[in-house]
Amino acid sequence: TQLLEQSPQFLSIQEGENLTVYCNSSSVFSSLQWYRQEPGEGPVLLVTVVTGGEVKKLKRLTFQFGDARKDSSLHITAAQPGDTGLYLCAGVDDKIIFGKGTRLHILP
Amino acid sequence: DTGVSQDPRHKITKRGQNVTFRCDPISEHNRLYWYRQTLGQGPEFLTYFQNEAQLEKSRLLSDRFSAERPKGSFSTLEIQRTEQGDSAMYLCASSLSGTGSSLTQYFGPGTRLLVL
């Protein structure tokens, strides 16, 4: 069974702080994706990482993919209340397997 | 086309009743996926279609669950004899064919089911 473990499960920090959340896979997928989900909505794709060692930036969000392509991290700089949500990592082959997510709450 | 739509957005039913949900994918997408998400969990894969063919079903999909995509466009997910454990958000997603880095799924807003 392919598993993706995300940590921490919950994170509550003050606006302006930096944070990092992690995703570790039990196996190697063709690619790994990060999504953000708000309450009552479906997940929205943020980024896809494919190559070991890859780093992608999306404004204040930095995504890293480990050399072995089994671990990934999401770093947010100067967090804002609008960053609040559930951050999901997902392993992609012919279908997508999701981790349980990190629930992030940014306090104003 | 504004994206994936799902109907209804919310459904409350009594245990033992049957419910049916509908998903309309992005029009040019030939793949359609169903997921279930319970509180505090990520979405769990249930099944997916390529055109009208159902290509894979999860072990999570008991015989009370059935999904169809008769014309390769919209899909329905039916749950028969609902149980309280079926309470969850049911998400639909669509994509073009592809694997790995070329697979980008677009999710609908979900149908939230509460079984009393």
Give chain A as a DSSP string. Answer: ---EEEE-SEEEEETT--EEEEEEESS--SEEEEEEE-TTS--EEEEEE-STT-EEEETTEEEEE-TTSSEEEEEESS--GGG-EEEEEEEESSSEEE---EEEEEE-
In chain B, the residue whose alpha carbon lies closest to the alpha carbon of A48 is B101
Q: Could you tell me the pLDDT band of residue A95, with boundaries at 50, 70 and 90?
A: confident
State the Cα angle at B101 between B49 and A5, rounded to 5°. 85
Q: Kindly determine whether residue B103 and residue A96, on different chains, have CB atoms separated by under 8 Å.
A: yes
Average pLDDT over residues A66-93: 95
What pLDDT, on the 0 to 100 scale, is given for residue B101? 59
Query: Which residue among A48, A97, A98 places its CB closest to the CB of B101?
Result: A48
Strand partners, A53: none
What pLDDT, on the 0 to 100 scale, is given for residue B97? 80
Average pLDDT over residues B15-20: 98
Alpha helices in B7-112 (DSSP H): none
Q: What is the pLDDT of residues B37-76, one digit of tens each?
A: 998 889 999 999 999 999 989 987 889 999 999 988 999 9
What pLDDT, on the 0 to 100 scale, is given for residue B102? 65
What pLDDT, on the 0 to 100 scale, is given for residue A94? 78
What pLDDT, on the 0 to 100 scale, is given for residue B103? 74
Query: Which residue among B48, B91, B100 places its CB closest to the CB of A42?
Result: B91
